[in-house]
Chains A and B, each alone.
Chain A
Amino acid sequence: MPTIDLNKRILEYIYECPVVENNPMYFCVAEERDNHNQLLPSREQPQDDIEYVDGTVERTYRAEILMYKSVAYNPIVTEEVGTSGKRIPSDVYPNENLEDMEDGQALIDWIKDQNDNRHFPNFGEYCIIDSVKPKSNRPILNGINSELEPPLAQYSVGLEIKYLDISKQLWKN
Chain B
Amino acid sequence: MAVSQFNLAQNQRAERKLLLTVAEWTEGTTVERELLGRRTEDSSVEYNTDQSTSTDILGINYTDINKTQPQQDFDPYLILGGSKLGAKLDDIRRRNALSELSQFTLYLITAYIGNSSDGYRAEKHINCTITYNSLGGDANVNMPISVFFSNNITNGTVNKLTEDFIFSPEVTI
- Tell me if A51 is interfacial: C-beta within 8 Å of chain B: yes
Chain B contributes a number of interface residues (CB within 8 A of A) equal to 18
A168 vs B39: C-alpha distance when bound (angstroms): 14
- What B residues does A168 contact at CB under 8 A? 17
Question: Majority SS of interface residues in chain B?
Answer: loop
The closest CB in chain B to the CB of A54 belongs to B37
- What B residues does A58 contact at CB under 8 A? 39
B41 and A50 contact, CB distance less than 8 A: yes
A53 vs B37: C-alpha distance when bound (angstroms): 6
Binary contact track A31-65/B, C-beta < 8 Å → 1, others 0:
00000000000000000001111111010000000
- Tell me if B50 is interfacial: C-beta within 8 Å of chain A: no
- Tell me if A84 is interfacial: C-beta within 8 Å of chain B: no
A93 vs B40: C-alpha distance when bound (angstroms): 57
- Tell me if A170 is interfacial: C-beta within 8 Å of chain B: yes
- What B residues does A52 contact at CB under 8 A? 37-41
22 contacting pairs across A/B (C-beta < 8 A): A51-B16, A52-B39, A52-B40, A53-B17, A53-B37, A53-B43, A54-B17, A54-B20, A54-B37, A55-B15, A55-B16, A56-B38, A58-B39, A164-B39, A168-B17, A170-B20, A170-B111, A170-B161, A171-B20, A171-B161, A173-B162, A173-B163
CB-based closest 6 A-B pairs: A55-B17, A53-B37, A54-B37, A171-B35, A172-B162, A170-B161
